[in-house]
Structure 1
């Protein structure tokens, strides 16, 4: 004889479909605060966000060193690198709005909406 079964008391929302994070919010964060990788951090892509912030800090360091050395070439390289970081932030905003690359899902694999 088997043990009596308890009646099923379903947990509310337990099997409900997971609502993904907003692609529009992530795109606007990348567009307005792309230099800080805000959209990446919002979607949970911490490694990519940290690399983008690290590249920004590196460009600032290069600009500071160029200014301290009074070298227009080194400072110019820093400005060029900072411009490239900013352009990548803009490109990430476009990819976010289109739902391409890593921005079609968040870090947990849930599709963005």
Structure 2
């Protein structure tokens, strides 16, 4: 006779929602919220620092460099959008959370 087990003892680990992570990246990607949700704190901090740098540089009048900074900030927004799309698709780093559990 085997010993009784607690309910859910051998239950598979349920991953975090890819949809929630994708929506967080889509609407709050510059703040790294989707990365923090999945446990990637380092990527989230990188996104915050880069976004803040573009905001601060955007307020400075740097002549011709302002045009380059504006183009770079547009490129950064495309990168953030790509992160959101890849989250929905389960690609890149968002296939699993920081603990290695697959996103669902």
- By the TM > 0.5 criterion, same fold? yes
Relative contact order, higher structure (CA 8 A, sep 6+) = 2
Please tell me the root mean square deviation across aligned C-alpha atoms, in Å. Answer: 1.6
Larger radius of gyration: 1
Q: Where in structure 2 are the equivalents of 1:9-20 lying within 5 Å?
A: 9-20=4-15
Residue in structure 2 matched with residue 93 of structure 1 by the alignment: 84
Q: TM-score scaled by structure 2?
A: 0.87
Q: TM-score scaled by structure 1?
A: 0.80
Unaligned runs of 5+ in 2: none
Residue in structure 1 matched with residue 18 of structure 2 by the alignment: 23
Residue in structure 1 matched with residue 55 of structure 2 by the alignment: 60
Unaligned runs of 5+ in 1: 1-6
Q: How far is the alpha carbon of 1:61 from its aligned partner? A: 2.3
Corresponding pairs, count: 103
